[in-house]
Amino acid sequence: MPIYNYVVKDPQGKTVMGTVESPDQATASSILRERKYVVISVVPKKKAGPFEKFLEHFRGVSLGEKTVFARQLATMISSGLPLTNALEILRVGAESEKMEAVLGEMIGDVEGGMALSKALVKHPEVFSKITVALVEAGEASGKLDSLLTQLADNMEKEQDFQSKTRGALIYPAVIAVAMVGVFIIMMIFVVPRLTDLYVDIGAELPLPTRVLIAISDLLTKGWWALLIFFGAFGYGGFRYAQTEKGRYKIAQIAFQFPIFGKLTKESEQARFARTLGLLIGAGVPITQALEISASAVNNVLYKDAILEAEKQVEKGVPLSVPIRKDPNFDPLLSQMIAVGEETGKMDEVLIKVAEFFESQAAGMVKNLSTALEPIILIALGLMVGLLVLAIISPIYNLTTQF
């Protein structure tokens, strides 16, 4: 039976949003009027297509949708809207079926007397430890709307950085894919015909041409072996990355790449500083804040360093000390943390440090595409030159014999 989204006014004049199941739109309106509602709008709920439903099983809730959730919930709470009503409005306007289902469960939990933070804990695949900690702190301090706004600001900065990074890499990725595609087409459709021609005329083939023909034969006749090889290589690499040794090795390699290694360090330290500053500012104990901050970073070396720092802080050691000893952290971070410890303004100092690292990373991302363009052009020129050399050389050698 079709489902309709509705917006109505209840007898007290409050706006209510929700869904109703009905055979048609007219019947849905009648059902709502029988409930003493003044109908404002009743529209069919948009259904996801088969492909979208298939993707729902593999993708989670996007960072953008989580940001909208935090921002809109903060706005509605600050406006005095009851929490259950706010969650219902968010459920109706959810972009994904996953988020809609999660919010539906949360509404039931909150109506049953459960705190919002406890309802969030039940969905770790959607709401991070940072979100739970800030909501819990907001409930305890009565500043839930303010902390949700700060959370939304934090997620927006993360989303903006991710979009800039992806944007800088789109052009090189498209060119690289095009180069590989042209090369494969040449090997499969062009080179075999030239090979037959060279055989017919009895031309002596130079080394570049023989290499080109060997690659062409491999792609046209041994494609199944290539699929098996790359499939086994990819599976083996994936399994290795899941092991403890593999995770540490990949983390170390990530720091060694030119440009990308520095970018990884800057972005990870910015994420750590902003998360820790946000949590400390919300009143979360520093040991708990460090544990949550460790879950916010991606590189396992930083995770271990932050967790080790947590152990040291539990023993009474200032946070700046273990941070200073770890070579993966910028000296500026430990110095600024020491300033924050001395002045009692750790949260403000960390946010400023995060902004510095973010600006550094943003500058690197901006220069990344500029730096990659000449490299791509050189690689493209070399590929075209080698192809031309390998194809034209036999013909040139043949003409020089006459």
Separation between Cα atoms, residue 3 and residue 35, nearest integer Å: 17
pLDDT band at 72 (very low <50, low <70, confident <90, very high): confident
Residues in the chain: 402
Find the DSSP H helices in 186-206.
191-201
Q: Dig out the tokens for 290 from the structure.
A: 């460090």
| Residue 22 · residue 4 · CB < 8 Å | yes
Among 45, 216, 76, 43, smallest CA distance to 145 is for 76
Give residue-wise pLDDT tens across range 211-251. Answer: 888 888 888 888 888 889 889 999 998 898 888 888 888 88
Among 331, 311, 288, 291, smallest CA distance to 320 is for 331
| Residue 18 · residue 3 · CB < 8 Å | no
The 15-21 sheet, strands edge to edge? 15-21, 3-9, 38-44
- pLDDT at 203 (0 to 100): 66
Written as one letter, the residue type at 401 is Q
Give residue-wise pLDDT tens across range 170-220. Answer: 877 888 888 888 888 888 888 888 777 777 776 677 788 888 888 888 888
- pLDDT at 317 (0 to 100): 93
Separation between Cα atoms, residue 15 and residue 29, nearest integer Å: 16
Separation between Cα atoms, residue 164 and residue 255, nearest integer Å: 20
Give yes or no for residue 77 having a pLDDT over 70.
yes
What 3-state DSSP class applies to 43?
strand
- pLDDT at 339 (0 to 100): 93
| Residue 380 · residue 175 · CB < 8 Å | yes
Judged on CB neighbours under 10 Å (0-12, 13-18, 19+), 99 is: buried
Among 67, 155, 164, smallest CA distance to 361 is for 164
- pLDDT at 115 (0 to 100): 92
Considering only CA atoms, give the Rg of the chain: 29
**For the chain, how many helices (H) and strands (E)?**
18, 3
- pLDDT at 332 (0 to 100): 92
pLDDT band at 335 (very low <50, low <70, confident <90, very high): very high
Scan for tokens 């079926």, then name that residue.
97
| Residue 133 · residue 284 · CB < 8 Å | yes
Q: Which domains does the chain have, with CATH numbers?
A: 3-151 (1.20.81.30), 152-402 (1.20.81.30)
| Residue 115 · residue 139 · CB < 8 Å | yes
Give residue-wise pLDDT tens across range 270-291. Answer: 999 999 999 999 888 999 999 9
Q: What is the pTM of this model?
A: 0.71
Separation between Cα atoms, residue 86 and residue 80, nearest integer Å: 10
For the chain, the straight-line distance linking the first and the last C-alpha, in angstroms and rounded, comes to 82
Give residue-wise pLDDT tens across range 112-159. Answer: 889 999 999 999 988 988 999 999 999 888 888 899 998 888 888 888
Give residue-wise pLDDT tens across range 148-167. Answer: 998 888 888 888 877 777 77
Q: For 120-204, where are the E strands, in sequence order?
A: none
Q: Dig out the tokens for 72 from the structure.
A: 């809109």
What 3-state DSSP class applies to 6?
strand
- pLDDT at 402 (0 to 100): 55
Give yes or no for residue 308 having a pLDDT over 90.
yes
